[in-house]
Structure 1
Amino acid sequence: MQTPPPMRSGGQKLCSRFLLKCGFIIILWSCTKKCSPLMPRAAVPRFVQQKLYLFLQHCFGHWPLDASFRAVLEMWLSYLQPWRYAPEKQAQSNDSQPRCVSEKWAPFVQENLLMYTKLFVAFLNRALRTDLVSPKNALMVFRVAKVFAQPNLAEMIQKGEQLFLEPELGIPHRQHRLFMAPTLTGSFLSPWPPVVTDASFKVKSHVYSLEGQDCKYTPMFGPEVRTLVLRLAWLITQAKQTAKSISDQCMESPGGFSFLSWLGFSPMGTNCPYPANDLDEMGQDSVRKTDEYLEKALEYLRQIFRLSEAQLTQLTLALGTTQDENGKKQLPDCIVGEDGLILTPLGRYQIINGLRRFEIEYQGDSELQPIRSYEITCLVRALFRLSSAINRRFAGQMVALCSRNDFLGSFCRYHLTEPVLANRHLLSPVGRRQAASQTRGPRLSLRFLGSYRTLLSLLLAFFVAYLFRVGPLLCTLLLVLGYVLYAMAMTVLTERGKLHQL
């Protein structure tokens, strides 16, 4: 078993790709009518095929799942398309349609079968683990799909797989030969054996020389790879919808964060819930590029593997695109068990990739929730001890006041009781059972006084009052009066809302 070559830097990969292109150009332009037309297909594998295959295979399996993989990808795609550097390319470059791969390149494709098929499967496994909402990752999927969708290339690859998989019955006198790579001792200009009778042997020799006699080959057009392609098509469709949702939410957000957001008084990043993505760096133009790359990649995959429109429609329906009333929020895929909601494998994937999420909301005692970053720790704890002492001392009087059926009782219930737990978004059956058993009586809560926001608002109110030459005592009385009027209005509105619900 040969060990793969060590990982190279980005600059070394660019140089390797440049040298690979130069090698193709020199060999192809040197093949005049006086030379054998099969010389490039004989020369290239002898020099670079084995080492390049091992290197690319190692990179596909160990390279980080980020945009730096583009250098490795372009090197691979350059090797797969020697016809791009052929002399006749100039005569057909003006044609807007994709250029059909000539049949004369079929021997090259067959004798480099693993470079096309096994590395394509390796790329599929990488693409299934990457964030396709990123424009750079979407571009890489588009590039690979575009290359393999060139006319006649998929048929050549399929023909090569058929030659490899067919039994060795037609050439009995070759059964004793070992499938080994050609050595460098032969002449490049030596005549090549007949293509028709020896094609199967050459394909098998290529595969066994790189993977060994006991290799397990997975056909590129077999059911296993087709399943991976359908999964990738499903992810592409989902990534398109996610990019559109992110774009809509970012369009609704204001042009910039307000001063209060900078101070931490309003949540940052809730309007555009994908902060780590390249969309934040590139703006709306990246959404357009992502959608364009993914749309074309999906169309190329449909052409390569002959996917029907019905299959693509089923993929779209399988996403469960039914959304909530606001058209955006949707829970991850899950089932209801005895102990609450249980995530399915699809739901785990949606959470990991940021496609859906649960609305995290504190469901416990509001007085015992963790101290927030916008609260003063020591002040919150002091206010909690003070309010607990008041609640223990006047518990009976508060219950009596809240039991009244007049306006005073409604006013006290508005301040001393929490909102009905049933109105909260309890998504788990466990949460509902716990909420039903945790009925709390009326109590006083002073925790709001420990917030930076409240203290800053009071400070600004006293500062404005000072500018108008209003004393602190009078300012305090005005604030208390204003709050009492506000609380009375809210009490009336709350009672009317309860009557409408009845």
Structure 2
Amino acid sequence: MSQPMPPENINSHILAVLSLPLLDKLAQLELLFDRCTIRQIQDIYPLIVHSIFGVNSNPLGWGLRTTTLENAVHSYNRLHQFFAVNGIWMHICHRLLNETTKFEIDINLLPRKFISMLQGGPMFYSDLINIDPIKHQLTTLSLNAFDFYMLHFVLHALQPLHTINPIAMQIHSERTKTVYQLLVAEYLDNFLPQYPNANIEPSNYASSVKAPQQLPAPSLQPQRQLRYLKLPSSYRNENGEAESVGVANTSSQSSADGHATASRIYTWRSESVVHFFVDIWLRYDVESEHHLPSSEFVRGVRTLVKQIHFFANGSRMDHSPLCQLRKLSLNMVKGRIYAFLCSLIDRWPLDSSLSVVLELWLSYIQPWRYTMGATNRTMGINYEPPITSVYDGFIIDNLIVYTHIFMQLLPRFERLDYSVYRNAYMLHRLAKTFAQQDLVERLQRFERLHSGNSYGFDSPQRQVNMLNKSHNSSYNAQWNPLVSSNIPLLFSEHMHSRIQSFLFGISMARNSVLTNIISTLRKEIMDRQRSEGYIKNLLKKILGETTQDEIMLRDLSRIPEVLRQCIDAFCRTFNVDPSTLSMHETLPAEPSPPASPSLQDFSFFDSNDVLDASMLTPHQMSLNTSNMQPTVDPALLPIKSNEIKPLVRLLHRISEAINNKYGSRIAAFYERDDFYGKLSRQLLYAPMTEKWFEKSNGNVDIYEKQLPPRVSLRPLGSIPSICLMIFALCFGHLWCGEAIIGLLLLCTVLLIYCMILALLS
């Protein structure tokens, strides 16, 4: 048995442990928790939580949002093991659970919109709020150990790390999973379980941490009035009867106390998780914050939305104490998601990263994809679950989220450059979602019924009542008088004309990719290969080398078919006649005549390099942005499937060391005009200007960096190169008696080949 820690040493010891490197810190904390008493752990618990999330110190904390499998595999696995739902940290949180142990969190650490919500006095937070009796102001929240950790965990996602840390900035741009994202998915899946009979871990504890109380239906009306937001005035159960949220009758109160206490022990952690995530994340003040949220944060919100759908869709088969929370959870999201999505779309940069916002929206409006039946299917990735009448109530209540968000996104899609594959794929995701026949039919029908007296009803409320009766829906919608009667309709004549014009532009973009961009790039690649000679091209194929132009051509070749599918899908959705677009599908392949000087020479800047946006049109913006492509050092391109990752990374470090030490000599050899200079230009990477984009303040800025001539050993890390060296070693062993001789012969042949190219250059 471990020896207990002396009380007088605990505070100094914990500060020393928290200053250690990450892996040493985790190991020492595990030993410390084993030796400390509950009272000692209670004293140091807030210090550890603040250290984890960088409260009042380095905002990176322990690196939960910067550690990935790619950049630190051992740290990634250790952090996940430590913070997992059955890890040592979660067990420590549960060891501290009792009615008297509370931890204070300063109100200044909370977001402004969350504080405003707390001042409204929501019932869930009523026993957590501390108010200054003199100033009558909210000062702190008193939380148990689990809630204290979980609230800090949720708040950590709001830190704008992508603006202050290079690693986090890279994660902001790439679809890389951090430890934080993994834990978000794991916590939500555990505390908001999909299956009714699932256990919530850790399950080996029993504590009456929170007093039993009726779970309130949250206020669904946002702080500010939204013009088109329509929400139900009250929650209704499956029989269409009002669900009571008041105090139980006096006669049944005493008999329900025992059951309420048992239910509270089982459900309170799930209540805390759903309230903290929804109330804080979906109140992110996109409009007022100086920095945009990171792509990682938006992907986290999407994980939350998907899990809420799983959680809520299980209510029909759940008879446990979680059933009521399942029913209320989706209403909590519904009260915030519209304003959150509108704010994101308004400020998000017009580039391929818009896909994270698009996928969040598409996940919310397709709850039928997140059911036990859909996840149990083995029909492949293209399986489309049916949209049954069970979801009619959801579609009615969220009609504005379907229609108005689509209309808000359409101008952004009109300005995208579809010579970029990721942009074309974004459009394909949008078209495929709205091409679902069951969804289109429902949206058209519900929009007509809500557009006012279309069917001769004397009031919008009566239309809704008739709709509920005609479809025998278990979801009883309510007409919200705040909804304007002049809502722009998605399936109106005006939108039909606009969609037709939009598809006209998509068809032109498809034709441009086919006849201009692809053919021009293919011709440039063929000309370069012709100038390099047959032997060098054959050697590149053997070594598996692929240039950036070839990668771009491969992506571009997929774009015309993707855009064709988008056009077909939108034509079916909005009843557009494809024949009106056929003239743009069969344009001749010969080069188009030169554009007029006004368009060909158009620039964002005048002769004094001053931005003049007075005459900008979407087409003119496209002419400029289509030429703005990131240029990356070939040595830093993503590792391909025919390369060995550890070897490529090792060779990159060796190349960097050589370039840092001998960079000036390498550049001098490259610039020489004699034979050595020609040979150097065959062996070294040529100087280039590296260009990339960075997002800040809602804008996209382009940055440049001059790269000198440099050594790159990356080609040696490919599988064909290794196979060629193994073949040379076997040849030397079998025919020359020494394996190394075969490798020397291979190097000699390659050197002679490069010398011949140098002489001919």
State the TM-score, normalizing by the size of structure 2. Answer: 0.35
Displacement of 1:131 in angstroms is 0.8
Q: Does 1:132 align with 2:412?
A: no
The structure with higher relative contact order (CA 8 Å, sep 6+) is 1
Q: List alignment gaps of at least 5 residues for structure 2.
A: 1-223, 227-283, 287-291, 532-547, 599-614, 627-672, 675-761
Q: Does 1:290 align with 2:559?
A: yes
Q: Does 1:247 align with 2:480?
A: no
* Cα contact 1:124–1:228 (8 A) shared by 2: no
- State which of 277, 281, 285 in structure 2 corresponds to 1:5: 285
**1:353 counterpart residue number:** 622
Q: Does 1:119 align with 2:405?
A: yes
* Cα contact 1:332–1:356 (8 A) shared by 2: no
Displacement of 1:251 in angstroms is 1.2
| Whole-Å separation in 2 of the counterparts to 1:249 and 1:102 | 49
Letter of the structure 1 residue corresponding to residue 402 of structure 2: Y
Letter of the structure 1 residue corresponding to residue 520 of structure 2: Q
Q: Does 1:85 align with 2:370?
A: yes
Q: Does 1:59 align with 2:344?
A: yes
| Whole-Å separation in 2 of the counterparts to 1:69 and 1:60 | 8
**Identity percentage of aligned residues:** 21
Displacement of 1:142 in angstroms is 0.4
Q: Does 1:144 align with 2:430?
A: yes
* Cα contact 2:431–2:566 (8 A) shared by 1: yes
The CA deviation string for residues 316-358 of structure 1, in whole angstroms up to 9 with x for no partner, is: 58xxx467xxx113233799xxxxxxxxxx997655423999x
Sort the Cα spacing of 1:154 and 1:203 in 2 relative to 1 into closer, same or farther, 3 A: farther
**1:15 counterpart residue number:** 300
* Cα contact 1:92–1:99 (8 A) shared by 2: no
SS of match in other structure, 2:477:
helix
SS of match in other structure, 2:519:
helix
| Whole-Å separation in 2 of the counterparts to 1:154 and 1:18 | 26
**2:198 counterpart residue number:** none
Displacement of 1:34 in angstroms is 5.9
Displacement of 1:250 in angstroms is 1.1
Equivalenced residue count is: 302
**Alignment RMSD:** 4.2
* Cα contact 2:299–2:356 (8 A) shared by 1: yes
SS of match in other structure, 2:595:
coil
Sort the Cα spacing of 1:240 and 1:19 in 2 relative to 1 into closer, same or farther, 3 A: same
SS of match in other structure, 2:437:
coil
* Cα contact 2:415–2:622 (8 A) shared by 1: no
Letter of the structure 2 residue corresponding to residue 5 of structure 1: D
Displacement of 1:88 in angstroms is 2.3
**2:210 counterpart residue number:** none
**1:303 counterpart residue number:** 572
Equivalent runs, 1:141-220 vs 2, <5 Å: 141-167=427-453, 170=457, 195-196=469-470, 202=477, 204-205=479-480, 212-214=482-484, 216-220=486-490
Displacement of 1:29 in angstroms is 2.1
Sort the Cα spacing of 1:61 and 1:356 in 2 relative to 1 into closer, same or farther, 3 A: closer
Q: Does 1:329 align with 2:592?
A: yes
Sort the Cα spacing of 1:333 and 1:308 in 2 relative to 1 into closer, same or farther, 3 A: farther
Sort the Cα spacing of 1:123 and 1:44 in 2 relative to 1 into closer, same or farther, 3 A: farther
Q: List alignment gaps of at least 5 residues for structure 1.
A: 180-192, 261-278, 336-345, 358-458, 461-502
| Whole-Å separation in 2 of the counterparts to 1:156 and 1:233 | 23
* Cα contact 2:315–2:326 (8 A) shared by 1: no
**1:184 counterpart residue number:** none
**2:497 counterpart residue number:** 227
* Cα contact 1:29–1:86 (8 A) shared by 2: yes
The CA deviation string for residues 224-245 of structure 1, in whole angstroms up to 9 with x for no partner, is: 2112211221121111112122
SS of match in other structure, 2:400:
helix
**1:422 counterpart residue number:** none
Displacement of 1:90 in angstroms is 4.5
- State which of 315, 319, 323 in structure 2 corresponds to 1:30: 315
| Whole-Å separation in 2 of the counterparts to 1:103 and 1:46 | 19
Displacement of 1:24 in angstroms is 0.9
Sort the Cα spacing of 1:140 and 1:225 in 2 relative to 1 into closer, same or farther, 3 A: same
Letter of the structure 2 residue corresponding to residue 61 of structure 1: D
Displacement of 1:103 in angstroms is 2.5
The CA deviation string for residues 394-443 of structure 1, in whole angstroms up to 9 with x for no partner, is: xxxxxxxxxxxxxxxxxxxxxxxxxxxxxxxxxxxxxxxxxxxxxxxxxx
**1:265 counterpart residue number:** none
* Cα contact 1:100–1:150 (8 A) shared by 2: no
| Whole-Å separation in 1 of the counterparts to 2:492 and 2:361 | 22
Letter of the structure 2 residue corresponding to residue 246 of structure 1: I
Sort the Cα spacing of 1:41 and 1:238 in 2 relative to 1 into closer, same or farther, 3 A: farther
| Whole-Å separation in 2 of the counterparts to 1:119 and 1:351 | 25
Letter of the structure 1 residue corresponding to residue 565 of structure 2: K
| Whole-Å separation in 2 of the counterparts to 1:349 and 1:328 | 23
**2:361 counterpart residue number:** 76
SS of match in other structure, 2:372:
coil
Displacement of 1:148 in angstroms is 0.9
* Cα contact 2:404–2:490 (8 A) shared by 1: yes
| Whole-Å separation in 1 of the counterparts to 2:460 and 2:478 | 17
* Cα contact 1:234–1:316 (8 A) shared by 2: no
SS of match in other structure, 2:567:
helix
The CA deviation string for residues 246-305 of structure 1, in whole angstroms up to 9 with x for no partner, is: 1111111146869x9xxxxxxxxxxxxxxxxxx958322111221222111111101111
SS of match in other structure, 2:358:
helix
Displacement of 1:51 in angstroms is 1.4
| Whole-Å separation in 2 of the counterparts to 1:217 and 1:174 | 16
The CA deviation string for residues 182-216 of structure 1, in whole angstroms up to 9 with x for no partner, is: xxxxxxxxxxx9544999993642xx5xxx44463
The CA deviation string for residues 101-125 of structure 1, in whole angstroms up to 9 with x for no partner, is: 2232222111110111000111111
Sort the Cα spacing of 1:151 and 1:51 in 2 relative to 1 into closer, same or farther, 3 A: same
* Cα contact 1:240–1:294 (8 A) shared by 2: yes
Sort the Cα spacing of 1:34 and 1:151 in 2 relative to 1 into closer, same or farther, 3 A: farther
